[in-house]
Amino acid sequence: MGATKNLIFLRILFYLWLFFGGFCSVKGLRPLRERSHSWSDEQWLFAKKNDNELGPFSAWNITGTYRGSWRFLHSKNSSSRFPDFQKSNGNSVLELISAPTKITGVHYVQGVIIFHDVFDNEHGGAQIRVEGVYVWPFRQLRMVAYSKGGELGQEDDYLLSNPYHLLGLFSSQVFQESPRDKIWKRKHSPIYEMEKHCNVEIAAQVSRVSSSTTDVDHDHYHLEGLMESPSVDDDGDCFSPMLLNATSVNIEVYYNKAVNYTLMVTFVSFLQVLLLIRQMEYSNTQSGASKVSILMIGQQGIIDSYLCLLHLTAGILVESLFNAFATAAFFKFVVFSIFEMRYLLAIWKANRPMSSGEGWEAMRRELSILYSRFYGILLGGILVMYEFHKFLRPLLLLLHSFWIPQVVTNVIRDLRKPLHPHYILGMTITRLAIPLYVFGCPHNFMRIEPDKNWCICLGIFMAFQASILLLQHYLGSRWFIPRQILPEKYSYYRRFNQDAVRVSDCVICMTAIDLTQRANHWMVTPCDHFFHSGCLQRWMDIKMECPTCRRPLPPA
C-alpha cells in the first residue's frame, strides 16, 4: 500500500516536472517582449481564435516597401569568406509580403532585401530572398535566406505590381547600370554565393511610426533588427553581424511624386510648343528659315523622341501610372512629330536649291533620304547609349549641345539674327528641367542619387551656349573672332563716284533716293543698284537676292 502511494506520488512529481519544464522551455523560445502585463493578459493568445481580435493588440499588416540603412555591428566586415563587403554601411530596401497562417497570431512572410553601396565605386548592390514568420502579438519578425527555384513566388507577384520597385528597376536599367552589368554582377555577387554557403538569419522588432501628417489611412512601420550569417560548413561567420533599420514607404506619396513629375513634363512640353510657334513665325520666310541650322532642330527632335519613348516605356511598365506617363509621352510626341519635324522640313526646303525641271519623284527621293538619316541617327543613338552605358552622363552632355551647330552656322555664313531671343532663353530653361530633376532632386521618385557636380556642369554648359547665341544676336555673328583672320566682307555702304552713277527711285518703296544724306541712309549692292537701308534690310530678311536684277546678295 505504501509502495503504491510512493509510486503515485512520483508520477505526480514527474508530470509536474514535465509540465513546468515544457512550459518554461516553450516560454524561453518566445521572442523578447515587454513584461508590463501579467499572465492574465496573455490568456487571450490561447482563448480567442479570431485573428483580428486577439487580445489588447491589433494585427499590423507589414506588407509593403521599406527604405533604410545597413551597417556592420563592428567597424567593418571581419570575414575572409566574403571580402567584397568593402563598405561598412549603406542603404537598403526591403520588399515584404505578410499572409496569415493557420496558427493564431503568426503570419508567414516572404520578401527581398536589396543592399546598396556594397561594392566600392559602384552604384549597384546585391539582393537576397528571405522568408520567415511574423508573430504580430509580440511584434517580432524572424526570417532566413532561401534559394529560389524557377517558379514565381508570391513576392514576385507583389514586386511585379509595386510601382516603387518597378520605377526603381526602370531607373536602374536606364540611368544607372546596363542589364549586362547587372547580370554579371549578380553572378559574381557575394550574396550569390552566400545563399549556398551561409545560413542568413534576421531577427527584427516591428514598431509603429507616428506620422506628423494628417494621413491616417496609411500606417507607417519601422523595422530594427540584426542580421547574422553562421556558416554551413563551420568555418566561422560568413560576415560580421549587420544592423538593419528601415521604415515603410507611403506608396501614395510615391504616386503623387510620379504624377507631379508628369505634370511638370506636360507643362514643359506645352511651353516648348509655344516657343516653337514663336520661332516659326519669326522665321516664316524662305530667307529666315534658311538661316536656322537643320542640325540644331534635328538634335532637339531626337531628344524629344527619346523622352517620348522613355515615358511610354515607364507607363507600360507601371500599369497603375500608365495614364500619367502616357500623357507626358503624348505631349513629347506632339512636340517631336508635329512641330519639330514640320520645322525641319521647312528648313530643308529653304536650303534646297530649286530647279525648274525637277519633278516630284526627285523631291520624294530626297525626302526619303532625309527621313532615313534622321531615324537612322535616332536608332543608332539608342545602340550607342546601350553600348557605352557607363558614359551616360557625358553622352547626355553631348546630347544637350544642340546650340553649337547654330553658333557654327552663324559664324560660317555670317547670318543676322536667325533665332528669336525668347526662343533661345525659353528652350534653354525648359531643356534643363527634366535632367536637373532626375539627377539633381534628392527626393525624386526614380530613386537616383543626386549628382550635384554634373548638374552644375550641365547648367554652365547650356548657359554658355545660350549666351554666345544671344551675343551673336546683338553684336554680330562673328563678334568673338579677331578681324585679322576674318575673310573680307562686302560693304553695302561702300564709296562710289556720284557723277558716274545715275540714281533713280528705290524699287522697293518706289520713292526717290537722296544721296546727299548720310551714307547709312542708303545701301548699294554688288550689282550697283541703290536702295534705302531699311528697305533693303527688310528685303534681305525675306530673300537674299537683288530686287532689281535677282542676283544673289552677300550677307550684310
- Residues 6 or more apart whose CB falls under 8 angstroms from that of 473 comprise 417, 419, 421, 424
Residue 126's CB is within 10 A of a number of other CB atoms, namely 19
**What's the pLDDT score for residue 23?**
42
> What spatial distance separates the first Cα and last Cα of the chain, rounded to whole Å?
135
Instruction: Quote the CA–CA distance of 343 and 298 in Å, as a whole number.
Output: 9
Which amino acid is present at 143? M
Is 123's pLDDT higher than 70? no
Is 353's pLDDT higher than 90? no
Angle at 539 between CA 538 and CA 541, to 5 degrees: 65
**What's the pLDDT score for residue 28?**
37
SS3 127: strand
Instruction: Quote the CA–CA distance of 149 and 135 in Å, as a whole number.
Output: 27
**What's the pLDDT score for residue 421?**
94
Instruction: Quote the CA–CA distance of 89 and 115 in Å, as a whole number.
Output: 10
> Environment class of residue 330 by beta-carbon count within 10 Å: exposed (0-12), middle (13-18) or buried (19+)?
middle
Nearest alpha-carbon partner for 194 in 89, 70, 82: 82
pLDDT band for position 54 (cuts 50, 70, 90)? very low
Is 448's pLDDT higher than 60? yes
**What's the pLDDT score for residue 420?**
93
Is 360's pLDDT higher than 90? no
- Name the DSSP class of 354: P
Is 156's pLDDT higher than 80? no
Angle at 337 between CA 416 and CA 354, to 5 degrees: 50
Note the residue count of the chain. 556
Instruction: Quote the CA–CA distance of 17 and 335 in Å, as a whole number.
Output: 83
**What's the pLDDT score for residue 237?**
64
C-alpha cell read off for 489:
566682307
**What's the pLDDT score for residue 184?**
46
Residue 249 near residue 81, CB atoms below 8 Å: no
What's the gap between Cα 74 and its chain centre?
36
- Residues 6 or more apart whose CB falls under 8 angstroms from that of 381 comprise 302, 306, 399
Instruction: Quote the CA–CA distance of 318 and 306 in Å, as a whole number.
Output: 18
Residue 247 near residue 224, CB atoms below 8 Å: no
Instruction: Quote the CA–CA distance of 32 and 204 in Å, as a whole number.
Output: 11
Weakest mean pLDDT among 88-97, 333-342, 459-468: 88-97
Is 48's pLDDT higher than 90? no
SS3 283: coil
Which domains does the chain show, CATH number per domain? 40-249 (2.40.128.30), 254-484 (no CATH), 490-556 (3.30.40.10)
Is 19's pLDDT higher than 60? no
Is 447's pLDDT higher than 90? no
3-state secondary structure string, 36-88?
CCCHHHHCHHHHCCCHHHCCCCCCCCCCEEEEEEEEECCCCCCCCCCCCCCCC
- CA distance readout (Å), 200 to 20, 74, 374: 33, 18, 54
Residue 357's CB is within 10 A of a number of other CB atoms, namely 5
**What's the pLDDT score for residue 171?**
53
Is 143's pLDDT higher than 60? yes
Mean pLDDT of the chain: 75
Side-chain half-sphere CA neighbours of 208 within 13 A: 13
Higher per-residue pLDDT: 49 or 390: 390
Distant-in-sequence contacts of 24-27, Cβ < 8 A, 24+ apart: none
Instruction: Quote the CA–CA distance of 136 and 104 in Å, as a whole number.
Output: 10
Which amino acid is present at 498? Q
Query: What are the counts of helices (DSSP H) followed by strands (DSSP E) for the chain?
Result: 17, 10
Q: What are phi and psi of 113, to 5 degrees?
A: -115, 125
Q: What is the pLDDT of residues 97-111, one digit of tens each?
A: 888 888 888 888 888
How is 186-212 classified by DSSP, letter by letter? HHT-HHHHHHHHB--EEEEEEEEEPPS
Helix (H) or strand (E) holding 323: helix 322-334
**What's the pLDDT score for residue 165?**
55
Residue 65 near residue 221, CB atoms below 8 Å: no
Q: What is the pLDDT of residues 192-212, one digit of tens each?
A: 556 666 778 888 988 887 665
Instruction: Quote the CA–CA distance of 390 and 181 in Å, as a whole number.
Output: 10
Which percentage of the chain shows pLDDT scores above 70?
Answer: 69
Mean pLDDT value across residues 392-399:
88
Mean pLDDT value across residues 534-553:
81
pLDDT band for position 18 (cuts 50, 70, 90)? very low
Mean pLDDT value across residues 358-367:
75
Weakest mean pLDDT among 114-123, 232-241, 417-426, 449-458: 114-123
Weakest mean pLDDT among 41-50, 177-186, 383-392: 41-50
Mean pLDDT value across residues 230-249:
74
Is 295's pLDDT higher than 80? yes
- Residues 6 or more apart whose CB falls under 8 angstroms from that of 371 comprise none
Mean pLDDT value across residues 494-508:
70
- Residues 6 or more apart whose CB falls under 8 angstroms from that of 295 comprise 405
- Name the DSSP class of 238: S
Residue ranges of E strands in 214-321: 220-228, 242-248
pLDDT band for position 32 (cuts 50, 70, 90)? very low
Q: What is the pLDDT of residues 240-276, one digit of tens each?
A: 788 888 888 777 777 788 889 989 999 999 999 999 9
Q: Would the pTM count as exceeding 0.75? A: no
**What's the pLDDT score for residue 20?**
47
Q: Is 255 left (phi over 0), alpha (psi -120 to 50) or beta?
A: alpha
SS3 269: helix
Is 450's pLDDT higher than 90? no
Residue 445 near residue 328, CB atoms below 8 Å: no
Weakest mean pLDDT among 349-358, 435-444, 515-524: 349-358
Weakest mean pLDDT among 209-218, 224-233, 349-358, 451-460: 209-218
